[in-house]
Structure 1
Amino acid sequence: MELVNIEKLLEKYLAAETTIAEENNLKAYFSGDNVAPHLEEYRAMFGYFSANKNEKFTKTIQLKTQKRNWKWLSVAASIVLLVSVYTGYEKNQQQKAEKIYNETQMAFNMLSANLNKGTVAISKLQEFETTTNKILKQPK
């Protein structure tokens, strides 16, 4: 009858449903000499738990307390800030230069168009003068 009870307790233990008292019964059974042959594989597991229960860590743990060097962090932040301001300034200057270039280009295009109109008018005037001289037969 005890073997059937141990097998049921073992199934409950593997399903993580046992109480502390039931686990103590399993430990007592597997630490004894009369373990059923088909349950021999669990003897090592329960023996390990019993042996390591009393094991304690005796070495001291040294915690490393690292002091952050905030001075270097502030220097790095300042450098990042300066670089970003410089690149922003350069980009702004480039945009201003492009705007001025486009405005100058537009002014030159207007000037060219007006000069072309003047050239056409002068050529018509030249043609009028030539025709007038022919009619009046005046030498140049």
Structure 2
Amino acid sequence: MELKAIEKLLDRYFEAETSTAEEKELRTYFSSPNVAPHLEHYKSLFGYISQAGSQQFEKSIPLKTKRHYAAWISIAASVVLLFGMFTFFNTQQPSQEDLGTYDDPEVAFRETQKALNMLSQNVNVGVGSMHYIGEYEKTRKTIFKK
């Protein structure tokens, strides 16, 4: 092969513009014994490329199986839940407020009457609201007869 053509191919090779057929020509040229002296340093490059292309990987690659993290996640979640419950129940301090115990029966009676009166007023508000629901039901039954 002509020396000028080889130099042009080398230039195109380093510019990444060669085809595989042209690269094969370069490899055959640099594997031959009659290489130009000023191109001698490229011989090892193309020799390595041709040698590396013939190598094959022979070791077996172990495939990793899927790891099942669901069991560990559920264990971690239960530990966090138990820790949270333990913390919640241990941080609640028993209240030291007056729980409504009275030594005098008359004072206890008056306080009980106040509490029952307040309860009665709140129940009456709820019963008043039920009157509106009763009216709604009567109206609905007259409009939509079954």
Query: Shorter-chain TM-score category?
Result: 0.5 to 0.7
The reply to whether residue 9 of structure 1 matches residue 13 of structure 2 is no
Aligned length, in residue pairs:
95
Quote how far apart the aligned CAs of 1:78 are: 2.7
Tell me the residue number matched to 2:71: 71
Matches of 1:47 and 1:9 in 2, distance apart? 16
Q: Which aligned pairs between 1:1-140 and structure 2 lie closer than 5 A? A: 2-83=2-83
Task: Give, in whole Å, the separation in 2 of the partners of 1:33 and 1:61.
Answer: 40
- SS of 1:40's equivalent in the other structure is helix
What residue identity is the alignment partner of 1:36? A
Distance 1:44 1:85 in 2: 71
Classify the secondary structure of the residue corresponding to 1:41: helix
CA distance in 2, matches of 1:64, 1:47: 37
Gaps of 5+ in 2: 96-146
Shift of 1:58: 2.1
- Give 5+ residue unaligned stretches, structure 1: 98-140
The one-letter amino acid of 1:33's match is P
Q: Residue type of the partner of 2:67?
A: K
Q: Report the residue type matching 1:19 in the other structure.
A: S
State the AA in 1 paired with 2:51: A
What amino acid is aligned across from residue 39 of structure 1 in structure 2?
L
Deviation string 1:36-70 (CA, Å, 9 cap, x unpaired) is 11211110111111122221122222213243242
Q: Quick check: 65-74 or 18-27, which moved more?
A: 65-74
Structure 1 counterpart of 2:5, one-letter code? N
* Larger-gyration structure (1/2): 1
